[in-house]
Amino acid sequence: MKPLVLALALAPAAAAAPAPAPTPAAPTTPVSAEAAEVEIAAIEQEIARGIAGLRLPDSPAPYHATVYVVRAEVLSIDGSFGGIITDVREDQAAAGIDIRVGTAERDQTGVFGQDGAWPRFILSLAPSPELTRHKLWLGLDQAFRRATGTYAQKLAILARLAGEPLPADFGPKPEPLARQPVPAPLTDSVDREGLRELVRALSKRFADHPAIDNGDVFVQVLRSHVTTITSEGLVLHEQRDRAVLAVMADTRALDGMHLDHGAAIHLQELPRATEELRKRGEELVDGVLKELTLMADAPMLDDDYDGPILFAGPASAQLLASTIAVHTGGTPAPLGDNGRVRDFEPHWQDSLGKSVLPGFLDLEDDPREGFGRVTIDAQGFAPKPLTLVKNGVLQDLLMTRSPNTQRKDSNGRARLSPGLAWGAAITNLELKSKKRGSPRKALEKELLRRAREDGYEYAYVVESLRDGNILGPVNREGATSYSTGRKVSLPLPAKIYRLDASGKKTLVRGAMLAPASMRVLRRIRAVGNSAPALPLRIAPGATGGFGAETGMDGILSNTVDVSVSSPDLLLDGLELVVERSENERLPILEHPLRRGQTSPAPAAAGDLE
């Protein structure tokens, strides 16, 4: 496994810029508020000059511009089997430009393959108005030329299309906000030495699990300050400390199938190598390694299955974060050469006023408290609690300033990651039941009853889904499913049990959830009696969610913080299919840690609970 270095995804879309050089390990000199204000004033002046002066013959003029300035301190430590593979600390500074030409009614946005490709450029680590002006002058010119080309492309597409007129491209601006001052710089330093020793100690625990082929313990820290400056006079600051302690491991089953597993502790402050964090880390590492060992010893899924499935524990929240978190967005589908690319439109966008969940369920998104709390969104709107679904009927969508045919106004759900990944996203999503929930044993009994009605003497319980925001893409060709039409691809089950009529639970592997319609959520038949909040880091936008597969190199830079609260969910309508693929032969030599040892007997599948 190659070393992973956390990096803000700040290379320009056209020509790659040189990466900033690593800085010494000494704490960063805080950026003074006075110097930052001078730089912001220079950016505002350059934006105004660009709006007034950028012109090309027979092309539309710019009417709106946004500049994002990101300054960050990044620490990435990677350890394996007691050795430190990566220990990198960097200061990074960059900016991105979003410029719109035409009018709010019709501009260049919303063209497939062109949206989001903002010109980005490296800045000086400390504010430098002269350098920033120079970079911004070039960046605005580049962005403007690209926008005019896309605008002409969009008009050509619209001229060929019949049907109803499209909604406006840019909605009303937010209520004026008092200008935010530059926040005071954070001066506390990262506990680099302590965290390195913590990673070293935790990764040594891999030696106690000789069935594991590879594994890494990561600590990543991102201290970021994102400033948003618009041509409407808006200046926003978001200063955050975010960190993650994660473990990833992989091995092979006896039939050669490659398996991986991972988990993380998500933090919203600078981590310290405390005794509490060490104990949590030990539980994290030991849990992942034990579970992966059991997965390697588990039998394959017997056959395809289309009976009821119980999503229990984290799996229920992960399911909602893979579906509802993405498909409740209000951003319309982009335009392609043959019309709207509907595969990239959230599936619930045309379902306002329709039944999307059973009538006993409500769905609420509350930004006020929790892991995903937000006070001002990325476009300057103050988000308020939002009832998305009431009595099973879709009431609202996650709206930014991109209107659709049914909603014109933003409700403050625009989210921006430190790496400038942008889009609509949830904050703290909660699924609430008006019907009294059932304990796990009662749900399992109901699961088996419904399975018998479908002709099965067994059923399946999914307790967690594979987290691609930790593990990245699946490293097995046969485990990749491709959705077609209006189907949703779901993450692989990580912990999945076969539940027999006797109540015996057997861990299995090789199961895939077939692509499904969002209509399957109307077939939630029963729910559990508690809904703990699960903190998650997901990519925003229509291609984000729990299934985005950012991997560890993007888990802090390309995600936003959210939480999902869901009871256990018993669903009909999902299909489990057996993963069918060829596996590589096992290594010829025995694992070096096994030599001279008697391999312990594999633990029973029930020990995983």
**What phi and psi, each to the nearest 5 degrees, are found at residue 446?**
-65, -35
Q: Judge whether residue 35 has pLDDT over 70.
A: yes
DSSP structural state of residue 576? E
Question: What pLDDT, on the 0 to 100 scale, is given for residue 10?
Answer: 40
Model confidence pLDDT, tens digit, residues 275-321: 999 999 999 999 999 999 999 999 999 999 999 999 999 999 999 99
Tell me the CB-side half-sphere exposure of residue 234, using CA atoms within 13 A.
21
pLDDT of residue 16: 32
* pLDDT single digits (tens) 247-279: 999 999 999 999 999 999 999 999 999 999 999
Above 80 in pLDDT, residue 218? Answer: yes
Residue 21 in this model has a pLDDT that exceeds 50: no
Report, as an integer, the average pLDDT of 520-530.
97
Q: Are 270 and 241 in contact (CB under 8 A)?
A: yes
Mean pLDDT confidence for 588-593: 79
Q: Give the integer Cα–Cα distance in Å for 215 and 335.
A: 43
**What confidence score (pLDDT) does residue 597 get?**
57
| pLDDT grade for 9, boundaries at 50, 70 and 90 | very low
Check pLDDT > 90 for residue 64: yes
**How does pLDDT run across 394-438, given as a tens digit for each residue?**
999 999 999 999 999 999 999 999 999 999 999 999 999 999 999
Residue type, position 285, single letter: V
What are the C-alpha distances in Å from 512 to residues 104, 251, 318, 481, 491?
A: 44, 19, 15, 8, 8
Q: Residue 599: its pLDDT value, please? A: 45
Whether pLDDT at 591 is above 90? no
DSSP collapsed to 3 states, 505-542:
EEEEECEEECCECHHHHHHEEEEECCCCEEEEEEECCC
For residue 344, pLDDT beyond 60:
yes
Are the C-beta atoms of 228 and 378 separated by less than 8 Å? Answer: yes
Which tens digits make up the pLDDT trace of 169-211? 999 999 988 888 899 888 889 999 999 999 999 999 999 998 8
Inter-residue contact 295 to 259 (CB < 8 Å):
yes
The ranges of the chain annotated as CATH 3.30.2290.10 are: 33-287
How far is C-alpha 556 from the geometric centre of its chain's CA atoms? Answer: 9
Return d(Cα 208, Cα 237) in angstroms, integer. 46
pLDDT mean across residues, the chain = 90
Cα–Cα distance list, 582 to 147, 256, 579, 589 (Å): 46, 9, 10, 21
User: 30: pLDDT confidence band, cut at 50, 70 and 90?
Assistant: low
Predicted confidence at residue 587, as pLDDT, reads 83
pLDDT band at 338 (very low <50, low <70, confident <90, very high): confident
pLDDT, mean of residues 585-606:
63
Summarised one tens digit per residue, pLDDT across range 112-155 is 887 656 789 999 999 999 999 999 999 999 999 999 999 999 99
* DSSP character at residue 305: B
- pLDDT at position 514 over 80: yes
Segment 149-162 shows an average pLDDT of 91
Q: Which two tokens stand for residue 594?
A: 């096994």
Name the pLDDT band for 608 (thresholds 50, 70, 90): low
- b vs e for 488-513, b when ≥16 Cβ sit within 10 Å of the residue's Cβ? bbbbbbbbbbbbeeeeebebbbbbbb
- Answer for the pair 330, 399: CB distance below 8 angstroms, yes or no: yes
Is residue 484 scored above 70 in pLDDT? Answer: no
More confident residue, 201 or 586: 201
Is pLDDT at 17 greater than 50 in this prediction? no
Alpha carbon 337 to chain centroid, angstroms: 29
For the cut 80, the answer to whether the pLDDT of residue 4 exceeds it is no
Predicted structure pTM score: 0.91
Query: Which helix (H) or strand (E) segment is 127 a member of?
Result: none
At residue 295, what are phi and psi to the nearest 5 degrees?
-60, -40
pLDDT score for 601: 45
Rounded CA separation 140/99 (Å): 8
Give Cα 527 to chain centroid, integer Å.
26
The number of beta carbons lying within 10 Å of the beta carbon of residue 225 is 21
Degrees to nearest 5, angle at CA 46 with 126 and 183: 40
Higher pLDDT, 31 or 464: 464
Superfamily of domain 33-287: PmbA/TldD superfamily (3.30.2290.10)
pLDDT at 92 over 60: yes
3-state class (DSSP) for residue 362: strand
